[in-house]
């Protein structure tokens, strides 16, 4: 049996801190999933987020006494850490699509060819910039392939100007297969019975 004072001053604040990390991480991910149009996942994350939050609040009120200040700090610290951890988890999952708009006064046909050969779909349009005529190259990518696309842009021109925006919904299009897609494809064909 844990000593009540040890529980109130050490164990309870740690429980609150780590529980808040969990529920705020889930909440951060839920908001990011909703903003990326992943509406099927968000309700499940919301359920567990609120369940953990209610459990934590209940423990704080049950043990509201001189240890309350420590619990409040643990609560606030867990909230801050949960935001940071939730954003990092979502960044590693890299779910969704992005639109890259490339603006260049140079001829970008070589860049377009390189991107197309790598499996990226591209569109070029003419534009008028503050310094004259420009080419605008549009590129919709999976977030999992963002680093690959950015490296190809930097290889073409280290000073190239581009803007990246999150895209809520993509229908059809040309995308290079991700590592996950390649593994799935290899597994499928390897396990398919021969004729």
**Which residues contact residue 53 at a Cβ distance below 8 angstroms, ignoring those fewer than 6 apart?**
23
Q: Which long-range contacts (CB under 8 A, 24 or more apart) does 184-192 make?
A: none
Same domain, 104 and 166: yes
Instruction: Provide the whole-model pTM.
Output: 0.62
Same domain, 121 and 153: yes
**Which residues contact residue 154 at a Cβ distance below 8 angstroms, ignoring those fewer than 6 apart?**
160
Same domain, 36 and 114: no
pLDDT of the residue at 18 = 93
What region does 110 belong to: left with phi over 0, alpha with psi -120 to 50, or beta? alpha
Considering the domain boundaries, does residue 50 fall inside one? yes
Considering the domain boundaries, does residue 185 fall inside one? no
Chain mean pLDDT for the chain: 80
CATH of the domain at 123: 3.30.70.120
Q: Which residue has the higher pLDDT, 189 or 93?
A: 93
Domain with 41, as residue range(s), is 4-93
Considering the domain boundaries, does residue 184 fall inside one? no
The residue assigned the tokens 């939050």 is 53
pLDDT of the residue at 171 = 65
Q: Which residue has the higher pLDDT, 187 or 57?
A: 57
Number of structural domains, the chain? 2
Same domain, 12 and 87: yes
Same domain, 102 and 162: yes
Considering the domain boundaries, does residue 52 fall inside one? yes
Q: Residue 164 pLDDT more than 50?
A: yes
* pLDDT 10s digits, 54-91: 888 887 777 666 567 888 888 899 999 999 998 888 77
Domain end among 32, 62, 93 = 93
pLDDT of the residue at 17 = 93
Same domain, 86 and 110: no
* pLDDT 10s digits, 7-49: 777 888 898 899 999 999 998 888 888 877 777 888 888 899 9
Relative to beta strand 132-142, strand 161-167 is unpaired
pLDDT of the residue at 195 = 35
Domain end among 60, 76, 93 = 93
Considering the domain boundaries, does residue 33 fall inside one? yes
Distance CA 37, CA 59 (A): 35
Q: Which residue has the higher pLDDT, 4 or 15?
A: 15
Considering the domain boundaries, does residue 167 fall inside one? yes
Domain end among 38, 71, 93 = 93
């Amino acid at each position: 049996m844990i000593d009540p004072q040890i529980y109130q001053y050490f164990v309870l604040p740690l429980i609150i801190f780590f529980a808040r990390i969990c529920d705020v991480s889930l909440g951060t991910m839920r908001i990011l999933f909703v903003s990326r149009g992943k509406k099927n996942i968000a309700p499940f994350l919301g359920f567990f987020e609120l369940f953990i939050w209610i459990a934590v609040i209940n423990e704080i009120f049950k043990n509201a006494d001189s240890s309350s200040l420590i619990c409040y700090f643990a609560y606030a610290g867990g909230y801050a850490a949960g935001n940071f951890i939730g954003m990092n988890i979502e960044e590693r999952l890299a779910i969704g699509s992005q639109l890259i708009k490339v603006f260049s006064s140079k001829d970008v046909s070589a860049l377009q060819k390189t991107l197309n050969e790598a499996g990226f779909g591209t569109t070029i349009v003419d534009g008028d910039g503050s310094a004259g005529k420009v080419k605008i190259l549009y590129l919709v990518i999976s977030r999992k392939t963002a680093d690959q696309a950015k490296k190809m842009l930097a290889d073409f021109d280290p000073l190239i100007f581009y803007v990246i925006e999150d895209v809520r919904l993509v229908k059809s299009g040309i995308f290079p297969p991700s590592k996950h897609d390649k593994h799935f494809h290899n597994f499928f064909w390897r396990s398919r019975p021969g004729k």
